[in-house]
Structure 1
Amino acid sequence: MALTPDDVSRIAHLARLELQSAERSAMLAQLNGFFSIVEQMSAVDTSGVEPLYTPLSAVSEVALRLRDDAVTETDQRELNQRSAPQVEDGLFLVPKVIE
């Protein structure tokens, strides 16, 4: 997938970036280089390859240090909502800001 100068201009517009002509040309080359690398990586057959939870597990056995999934704090919803101007059914009520 190769981008065109129009694509770069559109991306810059969406990102609210003002690019000069030289910057636009450099960005085009960088983005096309990035997509070239992605295409090369996509072409590699990875079927049968187990996903790694850490890159270190590819070279040595790594034991996960996971903690127990246990509740460590009490429910303080009512205490936290005391200072709220409006609450209903345990939810904060806020004014509508988008029409």
Structure 2
Amino acid sequence: MEINDELIDHIAHLARLEFEGNEKESIKTDLRNIIDFMSKLNEVPTNNVEPLIFMTDELSDLREDVAIQSISQEEALKNAPKKDSDYFRIPKVLDKNQ
């Protein structure tokens, strides 16, 4: 794969980045090093290796999903700067006229 200025500009555009001068040359060098390193993986014999799906055979012990009420509605609204009976009041976010 050829790493040229057009490729760097395209990648920079996709990532919404800008590279100039020495930065562009540095990125080209880094990208070449990454591709060279990844190509070394092709030298590893993987003929009889099964794909790795999980890093371990252990199962996760997850807790039971139990709904509990840890705070009452009155406690939640107690320190609210603005409230309206059972709800928090917040500033209007959307304007229907726009």
The normalised TM-score by structure 2 is: 0.53
Partner of 1:38: 38
Partner of 1:20: 20
* Pairs within 5 Å for 1:77-88: none
1:65: how far off?
A: 5.2
Query: Whose helix proportion is higher, 1 or 2?
Result: 1
Runs of at least 4 residues of structure 1 off by over 3 A? Answer: none
Distance in 2 (alpha carbons) for counterparts of 1:3 and 1:19: 15
After superposition, what is the alpha-carbon deviation per residue over 1:18-58, rounded to whole angstroms, capped at 9, x for unaligned? Answer: 1111100000010011011111112322122343725xxxx
* Pairs within 5 Å for 1:1-99: 1-50=1-50, 51=52, 53=55, 64=58, 66-67=60-61, 72-73=65-66
User: Whose RCO is larger (CA < 8 A, sep 6+)?
Assistant: 1
Secondary structure of 1:66's counterpart equals: coil
| Paired-residue identity, % | 24
Which runs of 5 or more structure 2 residues have no equivalent in the other structure? Answer: 68-86, 88-98
Which runs of 5 or more structure 1 residues have no equivalent in the other structure? Answer: 55-62, 75-82, 84-99
Q: Aligned residues, how many?
A: 70
Q: Larger C-alpha radius of gyration, 1 or 2?
A: 2
Amino acid aligned to 1:23: E
Provide the aligned C-alpha RMSD in A.
3.1
Instruction: Kindly indicate whether the alpha-carbon contact (under 8 Å) linking 1:2 and 1:35 is maintained by their aligned counterparts in 2.
Output: no
